Structure 1
Amino acid sequence: MPTFDRIQYPGFQDKIMTAEQAAALIPEHANVGMSGFTGSGAPKEVPLALAKRIEELHAQGKEFKIGLWTGASTAPEIDGALAKVNGINMRMPYQSDPIARQRINEGSMQYCDIHLSHVAQFVWFGFYGKLNVAVVEVTGVLPDGRLIPSTSVGNNKTWLEQADMIILEVNDRQSMGLAGMHDIYYGTDLPPRRKPIPMVKPSDRIGEPYLRCDPNKVIAVVPTHKSDRNSPFKPADAEFVQIAGHLIEFFEHEVKKGRLPANLLPLQSGVGNIANAVLAGLNKGPFENLTAYTEVLQDGMLEMLRTGKLASASATAFSLSPEAEKEFTENIDFYRDKVVLRPQEISNHPELIRRLGLIAMNAMIEADIYGNVNSTHVMGSSIMNGIGGSGDFARNAYLSIFMAKSSAKKGDISCIVPMVSHTDHTEHDVQILVTEQGLADLRGLSPKQRAKVVIENCAHPDYRPMLKDYYERALKTAPGKHTPMLLDEALSWHQRFNDTGSMKP
């Protein structure tokens, strides 16, 4: 096989091979750490070759599965392909693939849903056993063996350090203009030797632009030429625009009250169409010279960087539509000094989130009248995606905001309920709830005060009378008056949906 011009380290020349050859080196029952965060920077060839190998082995009556660890969700080439052939025993820390979701909910795949800031340190602590293999996409290999990271960093630093064996995918579809955009911090340590992380603003660079790699652990180098697989974002619908409007009005109020500076505080935004709608609203809003410290840089933040509304953005990965990815690549020199990509143990670090004073905006599946939020489960027992980084940010942010439409499934589901069917974020970590109906500011309120504000401001009109009726009866008959609850009715809405297909009576 000929040499590959992005593989400049001489010691890797004799390790260049096909994806099929590399996949054959991954042992059964191995814990495999793969790169990738929301589809960006994921290996493109080796996982597909591994899935094909597993399918062939299963056809021969042989059992073969791996433990799959990543940064967060990945592309169909990883989660979808490996789940389809039932090749994953344990998945962590986050997924959003429909085939993987089906495997998890039918019970054929184990899933450990983890705060994203915890993953790297828990692997270092040895909580999850040994990491056997790392499969990491990079943009290039320097003459001294250091690696130019790709469009995501995620947990790649930890995978490269902890794995016994390393497989590199060197993808020449990724722009060499990415070189210098990353900031890989090697100053973390195990307790009790930890020291404060030297960062005071989102744009600070505290590490190195390249990933270190022990060349002796590299067992294969696979040249690839494939683009990232991120989904396009849908245009914002009317409800999303209304949510954005409520938030911007709230921010203006907080600035007038002196609780936020004129350029707000660093923004954190979850992934998805609702988040992009809020960013689009901010791009048209009155605030200037904004900054972002978040997990993923989406289309909305890219647009804000172009217009100058956003001065800088720190993240661990891109999550761009195909159109935005093309625009970014064509103008990468413009973005290089405005964007910093970091390991997710830094992008999601609770100490830094608290220190920088973030405004955290994340989506939810449902909230209850007392302010508890479910962001992971449908009807209590079926996983949707996972908690991701929302918990990292919610508990430590200056402002903790959760957003959703007030109803779903054409009105058959209320996203404001008497009691959430699964709790990811307790009332203690939730300050602001927003739906298209309005905004509920829960700061400093007792549970009974929160209930009234949530029902009045966030509930859909079709469900508001039912919620009021439930609360008033609970207030009269519940044995405790601090958080009045009718235990025999609290989850009856969810049960009614399971039984009839609607939460409505």
Structure 2
Amino acid sequence: MSNRIAHAGLAAKRMSAEQAAALIDPGMSVGMSGFTGAGYPKAIPLALATRITAARDRGEPFALRILTGASTAPELDGALARAGGIDFRLPYQSDPELRARINAGEIEYMDIHLGHVAQYTWFGFLGHMDVAVVEVSAILPDGRLVPSTSVGNNKTWLDLADKVILEVNHRQPRGLDGMHDIYYGTALPPARKPIPLVHPGDRIGEPYLRCDPDKVIAVVETDAPDRLGAFAPPDDTSRRIAANLVDFFRQEIRAGRLHGQLLPLQSGVGNVANAVLAGLRDAGFRGLTAFTEVIQDGMLELIGDGTIEVASASSFALSPQGVADFVANIDRYRERIVLRPQEMSNHAELIRRLGVIGMNGMVEADLYGNVNSTHVAGTSIINGIGGSGDFARNGFLSCFLTPSTAKNGAISAIVPMVSHVDHTEHDVAVVVTEQGLADLRGLSPKQRARKIIENCAHPDYRPMLQDYFERACLHSRGRHTPHLLPEALSWHQRFLETGTMRA
């Protein structure tokens, strides 16, 4: 299995996953590859979890500080959390086992903008990194690394970690070679210079990751797929949300604020995001571009049929069917897809310069346009903010999308006051549900409230919201942003007590 390891010195460091895991000691800070279930190490975390479990059975404490690109998979986050081997985790997660232990207070979790992780690490804000464990698809004769299906924070981990462990995954297609663009021109303030990228398809770096071979202490070979599940196909609600947003884009074109190719698109993951992308294609849009974090099935389809000419991202999030299509047509996709470190895919300078249109999901929005995208009832984390804040604050348009209700109508996505704020009213331009769309640009708080109630709230909750708002306008001490503080979070409390927000 050595045909992918062309560097003689690194080939000599091959060992089993168990032997490599034995090189990681309790209390270490470990940077792991992986971004949305793609490109994460497949074997070492499982071997490490077995080692941790054995140590804890002997009464020996063994926990690690784990930093990644974003969410990973059960073989990493789930296995280590179940073994009790994580005492701190950032920046984004989606594993049920890990989430449960975070919300139980067993694991400290830092929810942070994805675009901030690399620079915070370089600044020293996140402490020292002992080991990097990074999946790659091949090692070149000169020691450079062919990245895998995600880039994430791998460049930073390889640069800053004292020691490096590489997993070379033979399952990853060799055609990935040449799809990546690793930019090594960043610097710490005050030595920073403008990043020379002016189009989503620009290549400004190198196809490969650099790593000092002397830092590599182990090379493990694997042959395993990324753990990626298929999203549910768009339902009627998702298609109505998509139609509302597409109609809005058409209005923006007529007003002269957008052109027929729009601006570079950023899209979150899920069935609503896929529905929006399909809606753009069905509406006849062509020649589009994307500057985003993740390429999922819906975007891959648009790249394949020419709706999207070029897409820049940091990772894939494809279903098994999407993976099969990608591998079968990888030569064509390599000409249209650029995978970058997330410090580039989520960089404020580039998002602002390109004028990206951000389209992200949310849990709830309140009357004034504040958005909660991470918490249930203000206390329990779901996944994390991810990169939505990078695009909301810095993009040309920040659009937040959600069905107007959840739990069969027991929860309203439009509430008097959000229970947790991820995106303030200052960063939210457009709110979209299947009921309609509220364009909040240029509006005062009270004007925003009227538009959100009228256009976005479900009819079952619209009278309750209108009643709250009218009474708040009459009786609130602050008439600029009217609230009745004793009632502001009563909808959430009612749900916790009765199982529904309905009065």
Task: Specify the TM-score bucket, using the shorter chain as the normaliser.
Answer: over 0.9
Structural mapping, 1:40-189, within 5 Å: 40-189=38-187
Q: CA deviation at 1:286?
A: 2.2
Looking at structure 2, the residues matched to 112 and 66 of structure 1 have their Cα atoms a distance apart, in angstroms, of 14
Q: CA deviation at 1:456?
A: 0.5
Give a deviation string over 1:6-49, Cα, whole Å, max 9, x none: 01001012210000100010011111000000011011000010
Give a deviation string over 1:63-100, Cα, whole Å, max 9, x none: 10000000001111111111111110000011011111
Question: Is 1:356 the counterpart of 2:354 in the alignment?
Answer: yes
What's the counterpart of residue 479 of structure 2? Answer: 481
Letter in 1 for 2:124: G
Give a deviation string over 1:195-231, Cα, whole Å, max 9, x none: 0000111000000000000000000000000011011
Q: CA deviation at 1:417?
A: 0.1
Looking at structure 1, the residues matched to 208 and 377 of structure 2 have their Cα atoms a distance apart, in angstroms, of 44
What's the counterpart of residue 251 of structure 1? Answer: 249
Which residues of structure 2 form unaligned runs of 5+?
A: none
Give a deviation string over 1:332-386, Cα, whole Å, max 9, x none: 0010110000000000000100000011000000000100000000000000000
Give a deviation string over 1:425-474, Cα, whole Å, max 9, x none: 00000000000100000000000000000001100111000000000000
What's the counterpart of residue 503 of structure 1? Answer: 501
What's the counterpart of residue 288 of structure 2? Answer: 290
Structural mapping, 1:260-271, within 5 Å: 260-271=258-269
Question: Is 1:242 the counterpart of 2:235 in the alignment?
Answer: no
Q: CA deviation at 1:399?
A: 0.5
Looking at structure 1, the residues matched to 283 and 23 of structure 2 have their Cα atoms a distance apart, in angstroms, of 53
Give a deviation string over 1:249-300, Cα, whole Å, max 9, x none: 0001100110001110000001112111111111212211000000001101
Aligned-residue CA RMSD (Å): 0.6
What's the counterpart of residue 404 of structure 1? Answer: 402
What's the counterpart of residue 367 of structure 1? Answer: 365
Looking at structure 1, the residues matched to 283 and 349 of structure 2 have their Cα atoms a distance apart, in angstroms, of 30
Letter in 1 for 2:380: S
Q: CA deviation at 1:405?
A: 0.5
What's the counterpart of residue 301 of structure 1? Answer: 299
Looking at structure 2, the residues matched to 305 and 495 of structure 1 have their Cα atoms a distance apart, in angstroms, of 45
3-state SS of 1:292 partner: strand
Q: CA deviation at 1:494?
A: 0.3
Query: TM-score with structure 1 length normalisation?
Result: 0.99
Letter in 2 for 1:77: E
Match of 2:431 among 419, 430, 433: 433
What's the counterpart of residue 379 of structure 1? Answer: 377
Looking at structure 2, the residues matched to 124 and 352 of structure 1 have their Cα atoms a distance apart, in angstroms, of 19
3-state SS of 1:117 partner: helix
Letter in 2 for 1:322: P
Letter in 2 for 1:207: G
Looking at structure 1, the residues matched to 256 and 441 of structure 2 have their Cα atoms a distance apart, in angstroms, of 16
Write out the 4+ residue segments of structure 1 that deviate beyond 6 Å after TM superposition.
Answer: none
What percentage of residue pairs aligned between the two structures are identical? 66
Letter in 2 for 1:351: E
What's the counterpart of residue 412 of structure 2? Answer: 414
Structural mapping, 1:337-352, within 5 Å: 337-352=335-350
What's the counterpart of residue 335 of structure 1? Answer: 333
Looking at structure 1, the residues matched to 485 and 175 of structure 2 have their Cα atoms a distance apart, in angstroms, of 58
What's the counterpart of residue 450 of structure 1? Answer: 448
What's the counterpart of residue 6 of structure 2? Answer: 8
Letter in 1 for 2:348: P
Looking at structure 2, the residues matched to 281 and 68 of structure 1 have their Cα atoms a distance apart, in angstroms, of 39
Matched positions, count:
503
Looking at structure 2, the residues matched to 475 and 324 of structure 1 have their Cα atoms a distance apart, in angstroms, of 51
Looking at structure 2, the residues matched to 43 and 486 of structure 1 have their Cα atoms a distance apart, in angstroms, of 50
Letter in 2 for 1:12: L
3-state SS of 2:487 partner: coil
Query: TM-score with structure 2 length normalisation?
Result: 0.99
Question: Is 1:319 the counterpart of 2:322 in the alignment?
Answer: no
